[in-house]
Amino acid sequence: MPQQSRARIHLVIRGRVQGVGFRFATFDEARDLGLSGWVRNLPGGEVEVFAEGRSENLRILVAWAHQGPRLARVDAVVEEWLDFIGDLAPFQIR
């Protein structure tokens, strides 16, 4: 896979995103997309995602994060696109 078709992204999702299965749904979505990285809850009530893989699959994950699982209410998604490094393990929940 050419390096330019891969990327890394850092997301912080705000809203009603804890206690609604957001991390587990993110895990399923990222795994289905073949992404590496992790998802975790933050102390302030946000969910943080760090993922890398094919750029088009990361764009799909970002679009999904704007909706989230059925019980979530997403108010904002802060995204930071970064260069692919290749040092992340298969996607996990932290």
| Predicted confidence (pLDDT) per residue in 70-85, tens digit | 999 999 999 999 999 9
Residue 2: which residues within 8 A CB-CB, separation 6 or more?
none
CA pair distance 50, 81, nearest whole angstrom: 10
Enter the tokens of residue 88: 């992340």
| Average of per-residue pLDDT across 84-93 | 95
The amino acid at residue 63 is A
pLDDT confidence of residue 4: 61
Query: Active-site residue numbers?
Result: 23, 41
Over 60: is that where the pLDDT of 1 sits?
no
CA pair distance 15, 36, nearest whole angstrom: 24
Q: What residues does each domain of the chain span? A: 3-87
Over 80: is that where the pLDDT of 26 sits?
yes
CA pair distance 75, 38, nearest whole angstrom: 21
Task: Give the closest residue to 57 by CA, choosing from 84, 30, 26.
Answer: 30
CATH T-level fold of 3-87: Alpha-Beta Plaits (3.30.70)
